[in-house]
Amino acid sequence: MKKFAFAAALLASAVSAQAADLFVNIHSGNAMAQGAGLVLAGQALEQKANVRVLLCDAAADIAVAGKDMPSLKPRNVTPQQMLQGLIKNGAQVEVCALYLPNSGRTAAELIPGVTPAKPADVAAHLLKPGMATLAF
C-alpha cells in the first residue's frame, strides 16, 4: 500500500507541474497490479496528462479480445474494461513488440485501440525530457 501511495504522490507531482507525459509499463500477470497501473493512468488522464501504456508479458493478455479475467472491487470492472476506458479517454495503448510473436497471437486478436509497439518509437518517447514513468 505504501508503494501505491508513493506512486500516486509521484504521479500527482509530475502531472501538476505541467501537462505531463506519463509512460506506464504494465507487465505483471496479477490483476490487482494491473488494476493499480490502470487506475493511476486513468487519474493522470483526468488531470490532463498525455498517457501511453505499454503492456508486456502476461499483462498484454489484457488487450486480447474476449479474454476472461476477474472483476476488481470496488467498481467491479475487469482490467480489460479499465483499459478500454483509458483508450476511450485518449490514452495510447500498445503491446510490446515481443508479445505477439511469442504468444502465438495476432494483432487482429487485440481489442480496438491497441496496437503492436515499435521499439524505436517507444525508446524515443521514453527519452523525451520530463517523461514520468511507472511500472507494474
Domain boundaries, the chain: 2-135
Per-residue pLDDT of the chain (136 residues; tens, 9 = 90+): 555 545 555 555 544 445 699 999 999 999 999 999 999 999 999 999 999 999 999 999 999 999 999 999 999 999 999 999 999 999 999 999 999 999 999 999 999 999 999 999 999 999 999 999 999 9
3-state DSSP assignment of residue 42: helix
Query: Model-level pTM?
Result: 0.86
The total of other beta-carbon atoms located within 10 Å of residue 4's CB is 14
Interior CA angle at 28 toward 83 and 119, to 5°? 75
- Report pLDDT digits (tens) over 58-89: 999 999 999 999 999 999 999 999 999 999 99
Say how far apart CA 69 and CA 40 lie, in whole Å. Answer: 20
- 2-135 adopts what CATH topology? Hypothetical Protein Ychn; Chain: A, (3.40.1260)
